[in-house]
Amino acid sequence: MNSTKKLTEAALLTSLFIVITIIAIGTGIGYAAYLDFVIPVFFCIIYLKCGFKYTVLSSISSLVIVSLVLGNIGTAIWMSQSIILGILCGILLTKTTTIVDDFVYGSIVGVILMVFIDIYASALIGYSFMNEFQGYANMLHIKKYANLVYYMCIALLPMGTIFSIYCLSLFLGKKLNILKDNSKKKLYMIKNFKACGRYICCSKNVFYYCSIYIVLIEVLNIIGIKVDQTYIKTILISSEYVCFYFVIRDAFTLIQNYLILKNKKPSYIRIFSIITVLCIVFLFKITTFILIASNIILDKKINIRIKQIGLVNNYVDKLIYS
């Protein structure tokens, strides 16, 4: 009975999606915004409501019907990317992972997905967002900074997209009353970010995986092993930038929390913050490795990461069940 209900709901949502999509794309109303945000949020909601199996069936049938009706290959490629990102966010929302873990996984998968989509888009319709980003970067006329901007653009685009889809899906899911268990807890974390945001962090495994990945890429650079294939190189370096962001953010916040716990003097925090920011600007990689080492020590010494995750979970549980 439950399977029949989910199948019926998925079929109705699919029909609604097909009609809205044909109207939106066919008339050109909200073309980019619709493809980038409405479609992934829609399929994230279908996943939360109907589960993985029916969401996949819905996505395949929707993609086929819309593609045949509109006859636009570029739109079909763009839609497929948005659908996959929506399903990815739905999967992450239902997992027991932390919010930061979700953003790490989502951003890296987003980088890989966007590069593969770019391969097909450039071959079929002649458009490449990577070439467009490269053009923006080359405007700097300094190769070192041009490459930096290029890879940052590739990394930041999926990060921003995943964050937007994730949050929009949570708030819409709340309105539709379909959030349960882990997704409901994550909604309360987002809504009360001002109160518990500084304690939301990566899990140990994700922090160490990102740190190991950064060290591995840097070791390969030092010993002179280079990847010449453009797409693979883009995935590797852009993923490293994603890891850099989350590792630095996480490590910096945890050390701040430790200093507050031990000293309870705002002046110490300000001094630490100023020194760290200056070191990141002028000695970026060395500072990153020092922050990683400091976090490993804190994890070994007082299990600070596990304690912070437990603190946030207890706080959210009280909000939900009070």
**pLDDT band (50, 70, 90) for residue 137:** low
Query: Nearest to residue 284, comparing CAs of 315, 230, 248, 231?
Result: 248
Spatial distance between the Cα atoms of 255 and 295, rounded to a whole number of angstroms: 7
- DSSP at 140: T
Cβ neighbours, 10 Å, residue 24: 17
**Per-residue pLDDT for 239 more than 70?**
yes
**pLDDT band (50, 70, 90) for residue 86:** very high
Cβ neighbours, 10 Å, residue 123: 9
What is the pLDDT averaged over residues 5-33? 82
Mean pLDDT check: name the lowest of 130-139, 140-149, 230-239: 130-139
Going from the C-alpha of 266 to that of each of 59, 146, 302, the distances in angstroms are: 51, 38, 22
Which residue has better confidence, 233 or 209?
Answer: 209
Spatial distance between the Cα atoms of 218 and 227, rounded to a whole number of angstroms: 13
**Which pLDDT does position 140 carry in this prediction?**
60
Write the pLDDT tens digit of every residue in 292-321: 999 999 888 888 888 888 898 888 988 887
Contact 259, 270 (CB under 8 A): no
Spatial distance between the Cα atoms of 23 and 44, rounded to a whole number of angstroms: 21
H-helix or E-strand containing 131?
helix 129-138
Write the pLDDT tens digit of every residue in 157-216: 889 899 999 999 999 999 999 998 899 999 999 998 888 888 898 999 999 999 999 999
**pLDDT band (50, 70, 90) for residue 245:** very high
**Which pLDDT does position 119 carry in this prediction?**
77
**Which pLDDT does position 30 carry in this prediction?**
63
What is the pLDDT averaged over residues 101-106? 94
Contact 37, 165 (CB under 8 A): yes
The rounded percent of the chain whose pLDDT value lies above 70 is: 90
Spatial distance between the Cα atoms of 47 and 41, rounded to a whole number of angstroms: 10
Query: Nearest to residue 48, comparing CAs of 191, 193, 184?
Result: 184
Contact 117, 36 (CB under 8 A): no
**pLDDT band (50, 70, 90) for residue 241:** very high
**Which pLDDT does position 187 carry in this prediction?**
92
What would the two tokens of residue 139 be?
């405007």
Q: Is 96 exposed, middle or buried (0-12, 13-18, 19+ CB in 10 A)?
A: exposed
Going from the C-alpha of 313 to that of each of 34, 98, 305, the distances in angstroms are: 34, 10, 12
Contact 292, 247 (CB under 8 A): yes
What would the two tokens of residue 303 be?
């299990």
**Which pLDDT does position 44 carry in this prediction?**
94
What is the pLDDT averaged over residues 101-119? 89
Average pLDDT of the chain to the nearest whole number: 85
CA 132 to chain centre: 22
Spatial distance between the Cα atoms of 179 and 294, rounded to a whole number of angstroms: 37
Place of tokens 């109207």: 23
**Per-residue pLDDT for 1 more than 60?**
no
**Per-residue pLDDT for 105 more than 60?**
yes
For the whole model, what pTM was predicted?
0.89
Spatial distance between the Cα atoms of 10 and 8, rounded to a whole number of angstroms: 5
**Per-residue pLDDT for 248 more than 70?**
yes
